Amino acid sequence: MAIDIETLKTLLETGIPDAEVHIEDLRGDGDHYSAHIISPAFEGKNRVQQHQMVYEALQGKMVAELHALAIQTSTPKS
């Protein structure tokens, strides 16, 4: 079962404090997305830690409902 953009966006905005989230459906199939997440919560964290925060915010949906997600994270200052 695929996940829709609004659900994906809501999970990320809810799970990552003050996140600005931009989602793109890469293939139009609801299964391959690109996400750019901007949040001050990423400050002081390396890229691995930032991506771990993203996976945690997805609450296990990455395995069950989402096949592929290209992740780009940044802080408001970067």
More confident call, 39 vs 1: 39
Confidence of residue 78 (pLDDT cuts 50, 70, 90): low
Are the beta carbons of 15 and 57 closer than 8 angstroms? yes
> 38 or 64: which carries more pLDDT confidence?
38
Predicted confidence band of residue 19 (pLDDT cuts 50, 70, 90): very high
Q: What residues contact 77, with CB distance under 8 A and at least 6 apart?
A: 43
Tell me the CATH class for 5-74.
Answer: alpha beta
Distance CA 32, CA 3 (A): 10
- Tens digit of each residue's pLDDT (9 = 90 or more) over 23-39: 999 988 777 899 999 99
Q: Is 8 within 8 Å of 46 (Cβ atoms)?
A: no
Asked if the model's pLDDT at residue 47 lies above 80, the reply is yes
Q: What is the DSSP letter of 60?
A: T
Q: What is the pTM of this model?
A: 0.87
First to last CA, the chain: 35
